């Protein structure tokens, strides 16, 4: 075995002597027609590999066939006209020499050994987490090691598309303009070692791909829709929208009321995003507040704010000293509200801000079911707000039967259907009964009934409640319906109709006869009636 590296001094002596002899020999004496060959010629060996080298000649009586190299070598065999050597642990390119003597002439041949080695590492430099659409992106690929460099190419790829390719370099750099189509695209780099001319083929390997994310965030802020005013204890929806986002599915939205984050529901429609949340006003937030909408995409954000005033509107509180009183009782009606609230009671003059409004009355039956109204006004941030309350008073008073609604004299025909109309008022509602003074029989009130002859008489209509009793007298006169009288009337009408028909018949009969005038001769009763023509003048009746 020969150590790798510079040869020892003892090893260089024969090689130098060989070269001197070669140089001193006359040109015609060098090898004459015989040659010394090194096989294989210009081999390609993997780094650290071994190689069998043969030095051979067609000289019939060769002498001193040897191999000179800086590599480890070991004789592998010899014969007539040849000698073989094993070269091991070949780690770098080198040149080897075979030498020998034929008929006193020096023979030489050489071969170049090329060592190939795959790159130790190939990597695409990290990409930014997000790259804006329309902005240049620089791609860098580094390849460590690899030989021979002249056969080594480095490629930058987007998917399978070659963006750049360079030969015999350790680093490749290129710039691309990021687009929407690049979002989610995989970028990588690849080395290729082309040893096809040496009969070994094409070797290649790729880096771990890196995915690019591109984005578009509009320069305009989001649109925020919020109420101007919000009362403590109430809730209202707030909405934030932003159009022109890409990709909208990756955008993050935050809605906040003061320091309080709101739970937002986000919906996306193409490149538009809409976030909706419910803002609830609490006493701790009373006063001027801000609602903020923040949209974040690709490490950048757009934000907008809107003002919101949270207020308390206490009242109005409308009270009666007693909700139910007897007539003649003094009732106090009061209305109150918050410190900055102005109240008006039943159309009266407005009280000062924060002051009580008072109304006093002596309750009568006319005040029963009377409604009292109180209006409260509060100015918040230049806007006047109103709230109203109402309350109803009940006044207890005794029953009363209205004569106009309960007639005291009734005249009805027997066997007809009638309704006794009689009403009573009072609080509480009284019970009303109409009883016959003798039999105490009760007559229906307000519903139809069949009138009988024995209903005639005097009735006492009595209304009673917890507040007292009130009565009126009703006289009912029922007239008998006589069947004989009706029959006579019908007969008389029939006779009169018959008699009226006789003259009409006579007249109709005379119309069809010749028209004559007859005179009665009173002097001679025995003469018959004589006829005169129509042209004769009418004579005067006898005197």
Number of H-type helices and E-type strands within the chain: 2, 42
117-135 pLDDT, tens per residue? 999 999 999 999 999 999 9
In a domain, 134, yes or no: yes
Neighbour count for residue 251 (Cβ, 10 Å): 22
322 and 385 share one domain: yes
H-assigned helices in 437-514: 483-511
Q: What is the Rg, in whole angstroms, of the alpha carbon atoms belonging to the chain?
A: 66
Domain end call among 268, 290, 311:
311
Residue 515 in domain: no
Statement to judge: residues 418 and 475 lie in one domain = yes
CB-CB contact of 101 with 66 (8 Å): no
Q: Are 136 and 209 in the same domain?
A: yes
* pLDDT tens figures, 104-114: 899 999 999 99
- What CATH number does residue 372 fall under? 2.60.40.10
Identify whether residues 339 and 372 lie together within a single domain: yes
Q: Within a domain: residue 20?
A: no
22 or 138: which leads in pLDDT = 138
- pTM flag (> 0.85): no
User: What mean pLDDT do residues 273-283 have?
Assistant: 95
Q: Which two tokens stand for residue 520?
A: 């009665």
Cα distances (angstroms) measured from residue 187 to each of 123, 154, 204, 206, 250: 11, 14, 17, 11, 21
Q: Is the pLDDT assigned to residue 459 strictly greater than 90?
A: yes
Indicate the Cα dihedral angle 193, 196, 199, 205, nearest 10°: 30
Identify the domain boundary among 375, 396, 417: 396
What's phi and psi for 167, nearest 5 deg? -110, 140
Token digits of residue 515: 């028209």
What token pair was written down for 334? 């009061």
Reference 331, options 424, 263, 423, 396; nearest CA is 396
Give domain status of residue 487, yes or no. Answer: no
Q: Is 539 or 447 the better-scoring residue by pLDDT?
A: 447
Q: What is the model's pLDDT at position 351?
A: 84
Largest CA distance in the chain: 220
Adjacent-strand bridge partners of 214? 131
Please name which of 214, 130, 129 lies closest in space to residue 178, comparing C-alpha atoms: 214
- The verdict on 108 and 127 lying in the same domain is no
Residue appearing with tokens 């771990």: 208
* Beta carbons of 137 and 178 less than 8 angstroms apart: yes
Contact 214, 297 (CB under 8 A): no
Q: Which residue has the higher pLDDT, 240 or 405?
A: 240
Structural domain harbouring 111: 36-116
Residue 127 contacts residue 99 (beta carbons within 8 Å): no
Q: Is residue 500 part of a domain?
A: no
Structure tokens at 58: 């067609």
**In the chain, % of residues over pLDDT 70:** 83
Question: How big is the chain, counted in residues?
Answer: 543
Last residue of a domain, one of 60, 95, 116: 116
463 strand-pairing partners: 432, 470
- When divided into structural domains, the chain yields a total of 5
The reply to whether 333 falls in a domain is yes
User: Does the pLDDT value for residue 525 go beyond 50?
Assistant: no
- 410 & 451 share domain: yes
Give the alpha-carbon dihedral of 506, 511, 512, 514, to 10 degrees: 110
8 A C-beta contact, residue 207 and residue 192: no
Query: For 284-327, what is each residue's pLDDT tens digit?
Result: 999 999 999 999 999 999 999 999 999 998 879 999 999 999 99
Clarify whether residues 412 and 441 are in a common domain: yes
Residue 21: inside a domain, yes or no?
no
Nearby residues of 469 by Cβ (< 8 Å), 6 or more positions away: 398, 399, 462, 463
Q: Is residue 87 part of a domain?
A: yes
């Amino acid at each position: 075995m020969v150590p790798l590296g510079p040869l020892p001094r003892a090893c260089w002596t024969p090689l130098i002597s060989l070269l001197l002899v070669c140089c001193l020999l006359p040109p015609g004496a060098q090898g004459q027609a015989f040659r010394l060959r090194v096989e294989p010629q210009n081999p390609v060996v993997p780094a650290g590999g071994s190689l069998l080298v043969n030095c051979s000649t067609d000289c019939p009586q060769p002498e001193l066939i040897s191999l000179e190299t800086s590599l480890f070598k070991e004789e592998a065999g010899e014969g007539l006209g040849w000698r073989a050597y094993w070269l091991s642990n070949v780690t770098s390119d080198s040149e080897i020499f075979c030498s020998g003597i034929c008929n006193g002439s020096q023979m030489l041949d050489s071969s170049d050994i090329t060592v190939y080695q795959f790159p130790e590492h190939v990597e695409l430099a990290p990409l930014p987490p997000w790259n804006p659409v329309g902005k240049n992106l620089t791609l860098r690929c580094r390849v460590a090691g690899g030989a021979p460099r002249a056969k080594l190419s480095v490629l930058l790829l987007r998917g399978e598309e070659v963006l750049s390719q360079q030969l015999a370099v350790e680093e490749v750099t290129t710039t691309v303009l990021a687009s929407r189509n690049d979002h989610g695209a995989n970028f990588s780099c690849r080395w290729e070692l082309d040893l096809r001319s040496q009969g070994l083929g094409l070797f290649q390997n790729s880096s771990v791909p890196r995915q690019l994310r591109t984005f578009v965030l509009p320069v305009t802020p989001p649109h925020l829709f919020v109420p101007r005013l919000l009362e403590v204890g109430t809730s209202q929806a707030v909405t934030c929208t932003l159009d022109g986002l890409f990709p909208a599915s990756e955008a993050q939205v935050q809605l906040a009321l003061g320091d309080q984050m709101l739970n937002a529901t986000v919906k996306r429609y193409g490149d538009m995003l809409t976030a909706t949340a419910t803002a609830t006003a609490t006493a701790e937030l009373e006063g001027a507040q801000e609602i903020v909408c923040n949209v974040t995409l690709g490490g950048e954000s757009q934000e907008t704010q809107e003002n919101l005033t949270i207020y308390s509107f206490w009242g109005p509180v409308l009270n009666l000293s007693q909700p139910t009183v007897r007539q003649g009782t003094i009732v106090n009606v009061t209305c109150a509200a918050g410190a900055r609230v102005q109240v008006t009671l039943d159309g009266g003059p407005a009280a000062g801000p924060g002051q009580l409004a008072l109304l006093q009355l002596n309750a009568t039956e006319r005040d029963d079911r009377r409604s009292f109204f109180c209006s409260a006004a509060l100015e918040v941030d230049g806007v006047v707000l109103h709230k109203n309350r109402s309350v109803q008073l009940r006044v207890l008073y005794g029953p009363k039967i209205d004569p106009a609604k309960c007639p005291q004299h009734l005249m009805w025909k027997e066997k007809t259907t009638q309704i006794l109309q009689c009403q009573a008022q009072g609080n509480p509602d009284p019970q009303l009964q109409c009883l016959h003074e003798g039999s105490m029989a009760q007559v229906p009130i307000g519903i139809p009934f069949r009138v009988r002859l024995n209903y005639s008489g005097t009735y006492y209509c009595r209304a009673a409640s917890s507040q007292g009793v009130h009565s009126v007298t009703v006289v009912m006169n029922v007239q008998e319906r006589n069947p004989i009288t009706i029959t006579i009337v019908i007969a008389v009408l029939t006779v009169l109709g018959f008699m009226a028909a006789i003259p009409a018949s006579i007249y109709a009969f005379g119309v069809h006869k010749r028209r004559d005038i007859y005179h009665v001769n009173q002097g001679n009763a025995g003469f018959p009636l004589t006829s005169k023509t129509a042209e004769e003048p009418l004579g005067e009746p006898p005197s």
